[in-house]
Chains A and B, each alone.
Chain A
């Protein structure tokens, strides 16, 4: 069945992760990425659930040191809480790591969000020097594999901002 225009399907996201050879998803669920859970459970990916988002970068760093290819899947609010893990691990260790960030409060390109979680996300990523791309639908899912490739090539974290709830 054809996807409705503008939807974002878990299967499309998983296909992007497969393209990249991702082995582990270190994650804490949120409303933007919660629909991924069942699909990830049924996939070949290893899920590593954590209790607080700051753990995710450290777990990912250990996985990378051990030769694996993780991604981190958390919400923007958790990214804010994780500041020192981003600084001290992701940036200082030059981790080739893709963050998939649930973009809480996102209301669309060019529109001003009322939720401060949305207003601060991109400026904070810019301040850290972390390139970021917004994924709103299946049509823009290619940013996931492209962002992952950029992270590997530059040995630097890259973020894709999941700007719309999954269609399942």
Chain B
């Protein structure tokens, strides 16, 4: 039997996102793999949400583009560890661009939940907080406790950007029978029109 210490994690990933949902005002929220399934039931401003899938996990890069285009608005990217591993260079691209309005949040469950929960190559070894700081993010945080996240989020939301918030959450495997987001193209057109007017 393994003698390894069990990983501390937030058992219900949606509970961690709920903390962000309560704090949200008018930020644009860019969603990635499983966050696009967990976030919609929690969202207070669905007209400002957009899922970015079907591009080998480019939500963080898309969020950078929106943040640069609209520095007057807050942009949250709700990413996942498997997705970020596919686009890890985006951390450096974001750090280089220094968008002062971008908050990058990452589910770190060490697994590919959308394909059934297989471990990522980073499981047990990758430290996304350290990677973000090493890439040049001025701030990065990691949470494995919901109460601590709730206490510290207000200060993070007024702190330096771009910032990465790592949420160490449980892997729930593939989500079935969940209410999904509207399709990306539909959301893209609607949000583009919205932003043109606001």
- Whether B66 pairs with A65 at a CB distance below 8 angstroms is yes
By size class, the interface of chain B is 20 to 34
Cα of A87 to Cα of B65 in the assembled complex, Å: 18
Q: Does B37 contact A (CB under 8 A)?
A: no
Q: Which residues of A contact B96 (CB under 8 A)?
A: 49
Given A52-B89, A55-B90, A92-B54: A65 in contact with B97 (beta carbons within 8 A):
no
Closest CB-CB distance, B137 to chain A, in whole Å?
14
Q: State which residues 17-63 of A face B: CB under 8 Å.
A: 24, 26, 46, 48-52, 54-55, 57-63
Closest CB-CB distance, B135 to chain A, in whole Å?
10
- Whether A67 pairs with B195 at a CB distance below 8 angstroms is yes
Closest CB-CB distance, A107 to chain B, in whole Å?
32
Closest residue of chain A to B52 (Cβ to Cβ) is A58
Closest CB-CB distance, A26 to chain B, in whole Å?
8
Q: State which residues 170-198 of B face A: CB under 8 Å.
A: 184-185, 188, 191-192, 195-196
Q: Does B5 contact A (CB under 8 A)?
A: no
- Whether A58 pairs with B68 at a CB distance below 8 angstroms is no
Q: Does B61 contact A (CB under 8 A)?
A: yes
- Whether B56 pairs with A62 at a CB distance below 8 angstroms is no
24 contacting pairs across A/B (C-beta < 8 A): A26-B65, A46-B68, A49-B93, A51-B92, A51-B93, A52-B87, A54-B61, A55-B89, A57-B55, A58-B52, A58-B58, A58-B59, A58-B65, A62-B63, A62-B66, A62-B69, A65-B66, A65-B188, A66-B195, A67-B195, A87-B55, A88-B54, A88-B55, A94-B185
Residues of B whose CB lies within 8 Å of any CB of A are 30, 50, 52-56, 58-59, 61-70, 87, 89-90, 92-93, 96-97, 184-185, 188, 191-192, 195-196
Query: Top 7 closest A-B pairs, CB basis?
Result: A62-B65, A66-B69, A51-B89, A88-B54, A58-B58, A58-B61, A88-B55
